[in-house]
Amino acid sequence: MADVREAAAAPLDLLDERLRRGEGLKAALAGIWGRVRSGDLGALPIVLGLVVIWTVFQSLNSVFLSSANLVNLLMESASVGIIALGVVCVLLVGQIDLSVGSVSGLSAALTAVTFVKHGWPMPLAMAAALAAGAAIGFVYAQMVTRLGVPSFVATLAGLLSFLGIQLWLLGDTGAINIPFDSGLVHFAQLAFLPEWLSYVLVVVAAGWLFATGYGLARTRRAAGLSARSTTLLVARSVTVLLGLGFAVWYLNRARGVGWLFVSFVVLVLILNYALTRTGWGRSVFAVGGNAEAARRAGINVRRVYTSVFVLCSTFAALGGMIAAARLAAANQSTGAGDVNLNAIAAAVIGGTSLFGGRGSAFAALLGILVIQSISNGLTLLDLDSSFRFIITGLVLALAVMLDSVARRSRVAHGRAA
């Protein structure tokens, strides 16, 4: 009799007797620990990595963790972070775009030329550069889906060609200054949230996290499914509230939180929503996991590839503009050098699998924080770019090795590769 009542009370999705049941904080923590042990590491390695990097640099130079430097670090991370968002999308479908750097450089040059030399209004100049980025992505997608060119080769060709066009656009001088009083430069360099607004945003974020979590839990319970306990949801929101609150308070001791960085985070949240809550996002993961199965499920695989390449190049174009605005100039080295690899490395370090089908928008955010921390720390130590290249390269190798090892562990534990 007792079992019957227990079975009736158990949620619909926890009826199988092989399932270990448990609710509340303790069970949640145990679940996380089990996932980590089976190689489903999530964001854990990268958070640990950040802690290590920050500790090392702080012990070498006490300026590193100062408010002023962290404000700077966040502002600097936005442009490559935005480019990395696009790279995440392309990696999710198991493709790659090696030309994001030169597309961003081209977009910077295009914005500067049309705005400064031809006197277009800023929004028009930006829209034109974004459209050019989208067009480039569209061409890549056609080459990959219709002609069967590997994306590796198509975008490698693009890398060179667009670098050439960038240099040609910039002309003999090789650089175009963007006036300081233009809206874009102001936004990228000088626009910070008022202190009160930054705290309001933190409260809104924590409240929103709780509200959505609670709403979902209520719907699930009403439908007879298991749901997160309210304690857990409260604990999560309070953690976020305190964590973000502290970060914002610390940043506010210097210039505060830049609108640029907030915009980057908003883009991350939007992309995360699109990838996890829309049919498009579902099909992106499906194509990355098994393109043939996705096709047989009636998904238009070609359209998914096209959307992803277009998105990637458009994000690259946006990132390029931001980079130019940070410098108040578009020059020959905008988007050159390590931008390309940093964007790809950020996506991978953040936990996007190179094999397709695994990753998230937050990978770009976490990954770029790691890369920018290294770059910033080494600059503070007065080490030149040679060291920066070496160390970023090593971190990338470490991240990819971790990805491979975790993947093997997941396979051994029967989780998705």
Q: Closest CB to another protein among 289 and 377?
A: 289
Q: Closest CB to another protein among 292 and 382?
A: 292
Chain contacts with another protein (rule: CB under 8 A): 12-14, 16, 18-19, 216, 219-220, 223-225, 273, 277-279, 282-283, 285-286, 288-290, 292-300, 357-358, 411, 413-417
Question: Hey, which residues does 330 pair with through a beta bridge?
Answer: 176
Q: Closest CB to another protein among 83 and 268?
A: 268
DSSP code for 356: S
Q: Answer for the pair 50, 351: CB distance below 8 angstroms, yes or no.
A: no
Q: Answer for the pair 101, 339: CB distance below 8 angstroms, yes or no.
A: yes
Smallest separation (angstroms) from another protein to the CB of 364: 19
Smallest separation (angstroms) from another protein to the CB of 134: 24
Smallest separation (angstroms) from another protein to the CB of 353: 9
Smallest separation (angstroms) from another protein to the CB of 415: 5
Residue 19's region, left for phi above 0, alpha for psi from -120 to 50, else beta, is beta
Cα–Cα nearest to 41, from 281, 274, 363: 363
Smallest separation (angstroms) from another protein to the CB of 220: 6
Q: Closest CB to another protein among 20 and 118?
A: 20
Q: Answer for the pair 294, 229: CB distance below 8 angstroms, yes or no.
A: no
What is the C-alpha to C-alpha distance for residues 97 and 309, in angstroms, rounded to an integer? Answer: 8
Q: Closest CB to another protein among 281 and 319?
A: 281
Q: Closest CB to another protein among 151 and 283?
A: 283
Q: Closest CB to another protein among 26 and 277?
A: 277
CB crowding 225-260: b at 16 or more within 10 Å, else e: ebbbeeebbeebbeebbeebbeebeebbeeebbbbb
Q: Half-sphere exposure of residue 344, counting CA atoms within 13 Å on the CB side?
A: 19
What is the C-alpha to C-alpha distance for residues 211 and 208, in angstroms, rounded to an integer? Answer: 5
Smallest separation (angstroms) from another protein to the CB of 152: 22
What is the C-alpha to C-alpha distance for residues 314 and 130, in angstroms, rounded to an integer? Answer: 6
**Per the structure block, which two tokens stand in for 339?**
């931008």
Distances (CA, A) of 344 to 45, 96, 135, 304, 396: 18, 9, 21, 20, 9
Sign of CA dihedral 169, 171, 174, 176: negative
Q: Answer for the pair 332, 175: CB distance below 8 angstroms, yes or no.
A: yes
Q: Closest CB to another protein among 1 and 9?
A: 9
What is the C-alpha to C-alpha distance for residues 374 and 387, in angstroms, rounded to an integer? Answer: 10
Q: Closest CB to another protein among 18 and 118?
A: 18
Q: Answer for the pair 261, 78: CB distance below 8 angstroms, yes or no.
A: yes
Smallest separation (angstroms) from another protein to the CB of 21: 11
Angle at 200 between CA 199 and CA 206, to 5 degrees: 90
Q: Closest CB to another protein among 39 and 335?
A: 39
Q: Closest CB to another protein among 236 and 302?
A: 302
Smallest separation (angstroms) from another protein to the CB of 225: 6
The set of long-range contacts for 378-384, using a CB threshold of 8 Å and a minimum separation of 24, is: 380/57, 380/61, 380/63, 380/64, 380/69, 381/57, 381/60, 381/61
